[in-house]
Amino acid sequence: MASGEYGKACDAFEGSNRIEPRAGTLIRLGDCREKNNQFASAWSAYSDALSRVKDPKKREIAQAKVSALEPRLSFLTISVPDESRVTGLAITRNGKPVDKVLWNRGAPVDGGEYVIAGRAPGHEEWSTKVTVKPEGDKVAVEVPRFKELAVLTPPPGGGIDIIDDDGPAGPVDEPSALTSRRKIALGVAGAGVVALVGGAILGTQAKGLEQEAHDACDMVVCVDFAEANEALDEARGKARLANLGYGVAVVAGAGAAVLWFTGGPKRADGLAIAPQLAPGLAGAVVQGRF
């Protein structure tokens, strides 16, 4: 601040005050803002110091500064008439929200350029720019009633013309046919195929063992009774497993079918309107699902 670099000095004082708020730091910050011709910011810093100070000497300094700066302040009033207060109206000043309690009230501001903007659902956005002098200026801005956005307007000759500030609507996305349930259905169907193949192999082996038993002991003579009985026992076991495999395959096939047909993608019923625009032509394509 001693070398005239007020921007850097004020930032340093503000940083110090954020770390440890003190009345002395706020008085130094106010002095820096005042030297930088930011009288509203200086007045605010002195006022904050006055609300915090305990030392009588510092209180006297802060009070004197507040009283001296008040006649020099510049004010900016954002006027919002009743007819302009549409539902959801929001006002900003240089990108920062302006609380409703400050509407229609003169607020002390530093000299400079300000962008006043507003927006409300279903209405066109609005903004204006004003310049406020550093000292003793009074500037007022009136917020107009914002123009409503048109949604549908019937053009001459019939049809539908759509006005959309976000650009033309694209085609309705189709959901994927391979849903999670259908993926499970494919897995179950695969298990059924494996069970069916296994059952067929075991059935073939069972028939082969049964034939070996008949060859070992026919109706006339039994060459090896023990071997024939062992082959028959093994054939019966594999036949049971084959039947189990066939049963699993049938159940898996039925379950897979149920999962597949009940697991289709969900499609929203109703109408979708997509605009079609071309030079000298305006219209719309209507799509429906029922």
- Say how many domains are in the chain: 3
Residues 67 and 129 in one domain: no
What is the Cα–Cα distance from 265 to 271, expressed in whole angstroms?
A: 18
Q: 80 with 138, same domain? A: yes
Which DSSP string do the residues of 5-40 spell out, in sequence order?
A: -HHHHHHHHHHHHHHS--HHHHHHHHHHHHHTT-HH
- Beta pairing, strands 90-93 & 112-119: antiparallel
Strand-pairing partners, residue 43, are: none
Share of the chain above pLDDT 90, in %: 51
Residues 186 and 247 both lie in one domain: yes
Q: Answer yes or no: do 58 and 106 share one domain.
A: no
CATH number assigned to the domain comprising residue 91:
2.60.40
Same domain, 209 and 137: no
> Of the residues 27, 42, 72, which one is the last residue of a structural domain?
72
Amino acid 210: pLDDT: 72
Give dist(CA 214, CA 218) in Å, integer: 5
- Asked if the structure places residue 66 within a domain, the reply is yes
Tell me what the pLDDT averaged over the chain comes to: 82
Domain range for 137: 74-142
Residues of the chain with pLDDT under 70: 151-175, 213-228, 232, 266-290
Is 162 a domain residue?
no
Distance of CA 108 to the CA centre of its chain: 37
This prediction has a pTM of: 0.51
- Find, among 70, 71, 109, the residue nearest to 93 by Cα: 109
Q: Is residue 289 part of a domain?
A: no
Same-domain pairing of 186 and 255: yes
Residue 23 within any structural domain of the chain: yes
Model confidence pLDDT, tens digit, residues 217-243: 655 555 556 666 777 678 788 788 878
84 assigned to some structural domain: yes
Which runs of E-coded beta strand occur in the chain?
74-79, 90-93, 96-97, 106-109, 112-119, 126-132, 138-142, 152-153, 161-162, 270-278, 281-289
- The closest of 160, 108, 156, 116 to 134, measured between CA atoms, is 108
Query: Do 239 and 221 fall into the same domain?
Result: yes
Q: Residue 88: inside a domain, yes or no? A: yes
42 domain-assigned: yes
Together in a domain, 190 and 244 = yes
pLDDT for 106: 95
Q: Are residues 124 and 189 in the same domain?
A: no
Residue among 41, 45, 77 nearest 58 (CA): 45
Tell me what pLDDT residue 227 has: 66
pLDDT for position 289: 54
> Is 63 a domain residue?
yes
Structure tokens at 289: 């699902």
**CB distance 199 to 246 below 8 Å:** yes
